[in-house]
Chain A
Amino acid sequence: MKRLSTFNIVSLTLGFAFLYIPMIILIVYSFNESKLVTVWAGFSTKWYGEVIRNEAFLDAAWVTVRVAFFSATIATILGTMAAYAMMRRGAFVGRTLFSGMIYAPLVMPEVITGLSLLLLFIAIGLDRGIVTIILAHTTFAMCYVSVVVSSRLVSFDESLEEAALDLGCTPFQAFTSVTLPIIAPAVIAGWLLAFTLSLDDLVIASFTAGPSATTLPIKIFSSVRLGVSPEINALSTIIIGIVTVGVLAASVISKKQISRAARDAAMAERDD
C-alpha cells in the first residue's frame, strides 16, 4: 500500500468534510432528546417512533414508492424503445430532430416541465392525483433511461441480432430473445435511475400533485416550512440508511461479477 502524503490527507479530509458534515449533523440531531433541533439534550430514539407512528408520513411514503415504481417502469419501456429506434433504424427522416427532442427534457428547467404538464392536465380535465404524478415523472425519467440504454446499444454487436434473424427469429423475437437479455443491465440501471429520480423529485411533483396524493418530498418540504423538527431528521436518517444499504449491495454484487469474470477467463485459457 502506498503511503499518503500530508497534502493528500488534507485534500481528502477537506473533500469528505465538505460532502458529509451536513449529513452527519443531521444524523446526530435525529437522536436528540430535545424538541428544539439545535439544542442537544441527550440521546434518544423517540423521534424514530414518532415517524413510524405518523400516518401522514407513512401515506406520503407509500404514494412516493408507488409513483416511483410505476413511473420508472413505464419510463423504462418507453425510453428503451426510443433508444432502440434511434440506434438501430439507421438514418430515418427527422432522426436528429427526434433524438434532440428526446434529450431536451434533460436540460429543460424542471419548473417549466412541471408548469407545462400542469397546463396540459388542466386542459384535458385530468384530476390531479397519483396518476398525474406518475405521468409527469414518466415524462422526465424517460429521457434519462433512453440516454443510459442508448450508450449501451452503441457498443452492442449488431451481428448478434443478425445471427438471431439468420437462425429464424422475426425482428421482434430477435429483440426479446437476444438484444433485451444482453442489454438488461443497462435497462435495469435505467429503471433504478428513473426510480431514484422520481423518489426525490420535488418541483415537478408539486406542480402535478393534488390534494388526494402527496409525495414524501412534498410532505417534508412543507413541514420544514413550519420549522425543522427532529422527526424530519429521523425520517431523513432512515432514507440515508436505505440509500447506503442499496449502494453497498450494488457494489458487492458488481465486485462478485468481476471476480467471476476473471475466473471464467482463466478457465478458458487453461483449455486452449
Chain B
Amino acid sequence: MVDDKAFHPWDDPTATPLIRIEHISKRFGDFTAIDDISLGIYPKEFFALLGPSGCGKTTLMRMLAGFETPSEGRITIDGADMAGVPPNKRAVNMMFQSYALFPHLSVWDNIAFGLKRDRLDKDRVAARVDEMLKLTQLGKLARRKPHQLSGGQRQRVALARAMAKAPKLLLLDEPLGALDKKLRQETQFELMDIQEKTGTTFVIVTHDQEEAMTVASRVAVMNHGELIQVDTPGRIYEAPSSIYVADFIGDVNLIEGRVGAVGELAELNWAEGRSLKGQAGPSLEPGQAATLAIRPEKIAISREEPEAGNRVKGRIVDIGYLGNLSTYHVKLDEGPMIKCEVGNRSRLARRDFTWEDEVWLSWTDTAGLVLSS
C-alpha cells in the first residue's frame, strides 16, 4: 500500500485524472458486459480491477487498449477522446495474460518490436532495449527465443516489451496468473518496484484479491458489469460499502438481524432481546434487515465472560492449526457459526482451548460493520 501522505490524488479536488471513463456501457447482443461505469484513474496510480470471472473487468481493460469499442459513453486518456482511435495509435500498451510473445523472434527482437514501428534509429532502439533488459534483469537471455524461457522469464519479457515504448498507461491482464504461488509473490513486489521506478500508470486486471490488495494504490471491485466499490486496499478491507465486498475480500463472519438505533454506531438486534454494535455502514434505517460483518482476526476468544461491548457464547466445533494462526469455528448457542482467528504467539504446548470447550467470543464496538442486507 502506498503511504497515504505521499500519494492520494483521488482525495485532491485539484488533481486531474489521466484516464476518465464516463458513463461507459458495453453490450454484446443481449448481454451487458459493462453497465454505466464512470471512473477516474490518476497519473502514477497502480489501479486494480478486481472481480470474479465474467464481471466485465477484462472488457473494461480491452476498451482502454482499443480492442473493444464502448456501446455508450466516453473514454479520454490525457485529455484526448479515444473514440475511433485504433490500438496502434494509442499511448497505451498491454501485457497479455498469455504474454503473447512472438515465438519467431528473440527476446531482444520482441522488446524492440514496438520501438521499430516508431521508426527510431538503430542506436536509440538498442539503447532502449538494453535499458529494458536491465530493468527486468533479462540481460543474459537477450538472444533466446520465447520457447527457451521459463514461465517467470517469459513474464518479464512480456513486461519489458510492453514498457519499452514508455506508454502513458500500462495495462496488465492477469499478469501473474500463470506463475506458481511463491514466484507470484516475488513478482508482485518486482512489479511494484518497476512501477515506482518508471512512474508509469498501471491498470491491472485480476481475480486474485490478495494480489490486488498487495500491488494496488486503489482497487475497484466489480461484479456483473458494475463498480461495487472503488477505494484504497485498506478502506476496502476495513470499510467495505456492501456485504458483497466484505465477503469477496478476505474472510468475514456475517451475522444477520434488524437495525436498532443508528448513529455513528449502529445496533443490530440479532437474537431475542440481544444486540450487537458495529460501525454504521451507508444508508441504514432503523428496523431494516441488516448484517454485521466482523473479520475473524478481530475476535477475541476467552473462557471467562469478557467485559467487551459485544460478546457471544458458544462451543468450539473445529480447530484449524495453520502454524502462524489457529482458526476456531465456534457454534453460538443462538445458532450461527463464527470463525475466529488467533495468532500463535507461544508454542503449541500452551494452546488453551480444545474441541467442545465452552468459550466466549468478543470484539469492540468499532471492530464490526453493520451493512444493509
Which residues in A have some Cβ–Cβ distance to B below 8 Å? 157, 159-160, 162-170, 173, 177-178, 181-182, 261, 264-265, 267-269, 271-272
Contacts and interface: CB of A to CB of B under 8 A. Distances in A.
Given A160-B102, A167-B114, A268 B150 contact: yes
B113 A162 contact: no
A168 B150 contact: no
A162 B118 CA distance: 17
Contact of B96 (A163, A173, A265, A269): A163
Please name the 8 residue pairs, one residue from A and one from B, whose CB atoms are nearest each other, closest first.
A167-B114, A168-B117, A272-B150, A163-B100, A159-B100, A165-B87, A264-B148, A181-B104
A22 B118 CA distance: 62
A265 B151 CA distance: 11
A191 to B, nearest CB: 18
A162 B87 contact: yes
B65 interface: yes
Given A168-B88, A169-B117, A272-B150, A163 B102 contact: yes
Contacts of A265: 147
Nearest to A265: B147
8 contacts: A160-B102, A166-B93, A167-B88, A167-B165, A182-B102, A261-B147, A267-B148, A268-B148
Contacts of A269: 150
Nearest to A269: B150
Interface string B119-153: 00000000000000000000001000101111111
Interface in B53-68: 65, 67
B67 A162 contact: yes
A181 B65 CA distance: 25
Nearest to B153: A271
Contact of B88 (A160, A165, A178): A165
Contacts of B96: 159, 162-163
A168 B165 contact: yes
A163 B162 CA distance: 9
A157 B96 CA distance: 11
Contacts of B152: 272
B172 interface: no
A173 B117 contact: yes
Given A159-B98, A159-B100, A160-B102, A165 B86 contact: yes
B339 interface: no
A181 B103 CA distance: 9
Contacts of A159: 96-98, 100
Contacts of A271: 141, 149-150, 153
A160 B94 CA distance: 12
Contacts of B65: 162, 166
B317 to A, nearest CB: 43
B117 A264 contact: no
B329 interface: no
B161 interface: yes
Contacts of B162: 166
A89 to B, nearest CB: 15
B87 A182 contact: no
A178 B152 CA distance: 23
A182 B101 CA distance: 12
Contacts of B103: 182
Contact of B98 (A157, A178, A182): A157
Contacts of A157: 98, 100
Contacts of A261: 147
Given A267-B148, A268-B147, A166 B87 contact: yes
B259 to A, nearest CB: 49
A168 B148 contact: no
A168 B100 contact: no
A13 B314 CA distance: 81
B147 A264 contact: yes
A164 B113 contact: yes
A17 to B, nearest CB: 43
Contacts of A177: 113
Contacts of A173: 117
A179 to B, nearest CB: 10
A13 B102 CA distance: 47
A167 B161 contact: yes
Interface string B231-267: 0000000000000000000000000000000000000
Contacts of B153: 268, 271
B88 A169 contact: yes
Nearest to B161: A167
Contacts of B117: 167-169, 173
A164 B87 CA distance: 9
A154 B92 CA distance: 28
B150 A166 contact: no
A258 to B, nearest CB: 13
B142 to A, nearest CB: 14
B168 to A, nearest CB: 13
Given A163-B100, A181-B104, A268 B88 contact: no
B149 to A, nearest CB: 6
Counting chain B CB atoms within 10 Å of each CB, the highest count among A168, A264, A265, A269 belongs to A168
Contacts of B145: 264
